[in-house]
């Protein structure tokens, strides 16, 4: 007899894959992350500039406060505007995070 349960397969344990896993975990959806590296938090010297759109998603997932503490805001950034040139009520600045720090924070 078929059931409605399923398992999501996430290919890659980078920042996008880990954020997807985080969201699925909190939604109660079964998932597995397939990653070729042995350690997804290894220091490869990479930094990420996280856009305001992504920061809004992190806020919705309850991750923003922690990421704000460990990240570094960029000094020069644009404010968010809609198509009619109205400034968004809440705008996130671009943020700079080391990839390994972001990944560790999401685990």
* CATH number, position 90: 3.50.50.60
pLDDT band, very low/low/confident/very high, at 28 (cuts 50, 70, 90): very high
**Running DSSP on this structure, what letter comes out for residue 77?**
-
Q: What is the pLDDT of residue 95?
A: 65
Q: What is the pLDDT of residue 29?
A: 95
Structural domain includes residue 2: no
pLDDT band, very low/low/confident/very high, at 21 (cuts 50, 70, 90): very high
Annotate 32-43 with DSSP letters as a single string: EEE-SSS-TT--
Q: Quote the domain boundaries for residue 75.
A: 7-106
Residues 6 or more apart from 88 whose CB is under 8 A from it? 79, 80, 81, 82
pLDDT digits (tens, 9 = 90+) for 34-82: 999 887 777 666 677 777 777 788 888 888 788 777 777 655 445 556 5
Residue given tokens 């996008």 in the structure block: 16
Between residues 27 and 78, the one the model is more confident about: 27
Structural domain includes residue 1: no
């Amino acid at each position: 007899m078929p059931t409605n349960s399923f398992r999501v397969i996430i290919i890659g344990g980078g920042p996008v894959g880990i954020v997807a896993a985080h969201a699925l975990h909190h939604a109660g959806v079964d998932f597995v992350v397939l990653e070729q590296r042995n350690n997804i938090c290894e220091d490869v010297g990479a930094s990420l500039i996280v856009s305001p759109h992504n920061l809004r998603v992190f806020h919705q997932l309850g991750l923003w406060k922690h990421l704000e503490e460990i990240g570094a805001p960029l000094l020069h950034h644009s404010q968010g505007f809609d198509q009619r040139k109205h400034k968004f009520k809440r705008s996130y600045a671009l943020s700079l995070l080391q990839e390994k720090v972001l990944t560790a924070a999401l685990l």
